[in-house]
A and B are shown apart, each in its own frame.
Chain A
């Protein structure tokens, strides 16, 4: 069984080489003439006036949290979908209850305005 994963391991090494090689080539072949202006962060010609890692909108956090919930839901759906034909009515109804609870949660967050971007 694990034999099938050996190509993936080798592919990983090859992809790493193909990912790093162009960068190394770029560093070797390209010129290096740094000056303070060139190395300053791009801000449409102005001098950067504060740290770029500033505070950002809390909604990004919210989206991340909602994502985790729904991604887990998908993770639960995957094994269920594969054996759908074998588990019969009981399995389908169980998943119906599970999905139903999540849909109620989804409606709640929708009504609360967690999905608005104004």
Chain B
């Protein structure tokens, strides 16, 4: 039976075989990712619930575990309202445009050594291009809605994303200088050698800037001025209902997962085990060995940080957000790039 299948598979022409294998790989990324996104919404409500000394959703299914599915079903059966004087085509396109980049960027993330969908040498450029693309969805949504709140939210979102993208770009230049490669798998390999060999230590200011900019890029608290439900009601997606709204919601959570995965990859050694060089633990199979479980664990930790920060900090004022982005982060990153240049030329520590 198995042999027959195998020989049958070999008879399939190459032009069909390669794409179908790739399609399977894509599904192996996208479907678990959608699961993560769905249960991230549940985790968020539970974590914030416990942070505020209440329970959070616990009725649907065992301990509320079916809540995301119930939410998805509910949103699916809601009417999608198309406002009368909205630009219809752009109004429908915007949620798709903000959702697609959040998925596409996962093509170059190394899940384990060499386990990435597209092993391209321009990995960071690709990630940077796609994360910048997400803001188009937000601006188009605000513009197409033809509503004052949506428009205000979109303008704020655009200026905010633009400011923090610069800080993010500068932080990535620091990683590039340290690793000397644009390929994400090579960047992880360059960090080999245990917890203190990862880039978070020599690039500590850049790591902080990168993660905080990630919060601002995904419009999470304390930087959610683009949504600001207590002043501009929901910002850019105020006119969206049903699945249209759900798409923006999914895009936001997929972006959170993406930023967490990227932070783990750039600064915390991706799939590397932190126990390299520790005498006994190093040789324990799962603990000392590199692999997907370390990547997943690190990403989960940063995702938890997103929720934790949301439960802890009050919202920034808009002028404070812009001040932090332009007057603190950009000078800080430029100074640290000079420091990293010195590190590289002197071959400082185990990192360079």
Contact = CB atoms under 8 A, between A and B. Distances in A.
Interface of A: 4-8, 10-12, 14-16, 18-20, 22-23, 25-27, 29-34, 36, 38-44, 48, 51-54, 56-57, 59-60, 63-64, 67, 70-71, 74, 77-78, 81-85, 89, 92, 99, 103, 106, 110, 115-118
B146 A41 contact: yes
B166 A67 contact: yes
Contacts of A83: 180
A74 B176 CA distance: 12
Interface in B109-127: 117-121, 124-126
B319 interface: yes
Greatest chain B CB density within 10 A among A41, A51, A57 is at: A41
Interface string B311-350: 0000000110011001100110010011001001100000
Nearest to A117: B319
Of residues A7, A27, A84, A110, which shows the largest number of chain B Cβ atoms within 10 Å of its Cβ? A7
30 contacts: A4-B120, A7-B26, A7-B107, A11-B104, A14-B23, A14-B103, A15-B99, A15-B104, A16-B96, A18-B30, A19-B103, A22-B243, A22-B250, A23-B96, A26-B75, A26-B80, A30-B242, A39-B81, A41-B83, A48-B147, A52-B145, A56-B155, A74-B170, A77-B337, A82-B181, A99-B338, A103-B334, A116-B319, A117-B318, A117-B319
A18 B250 CA distance: 11
Q: Which 6 A-B pairs have the closest CB atoms?
A: A26-B243, A117-B319, A41-B147, A81-B176, A39-B84, A19-B96
A7 B81 CA distance: 36
Contact of A84 (B78, B79, B155, B180): B180
B278 interface: no
B100 A23 contact: no
Interface stretch (B49-57, B156-164, B198-206, B207-215): B156-164
Contact of A15 (B100, B239, B337): B100
B242 A74 contact: no
A27 B80 contact: yes
B104 A32 contact: no
Contact of A60 (B146, B149, B158, B243): B158
B316 to A, nearest CB: 12
Chief secondary structure at chain B's binding surface: helix
A6 B326 CA distance: 38
Contacts of B30: 14-15, 18
A43 B243 contact: no
Given A12-B104, A18-B30, A71-B165, A106 B330 contact: yes
Interface residues of B, number: 82
Contact of B117 (A11, A30, A34): A11
Contact of A52 (B95, B151, B162): B151
Nearest to A116: B319
Given A20-B96, A26-B80, A71-B166, 13 more contacts: A4-B119, A10-B22, A23-B244, A25-B76, A30-B242, A33-B79, A39-B84, A42-B149, A53-B143, A67-B165, A74-B166, A74-B170, A81-B176
B84 to A, nearest CB: 4
A70 B146 CA distance: 31
Contacts of B239: 41-42
A6 B341 CA distance: 36
Contacts of A40: 83-84
Given A19-B247, A60-B159, A30 B78 contact: yes
B147 A30 contact: no
Contact of A6 (B18, B27, B104, B145): B18
A92 B80 CA distance: 55
Given A30-B242, A52-B151, A6 B22 contact: yes
Contacts of A44: 233
A84 B181 CA distance: 10
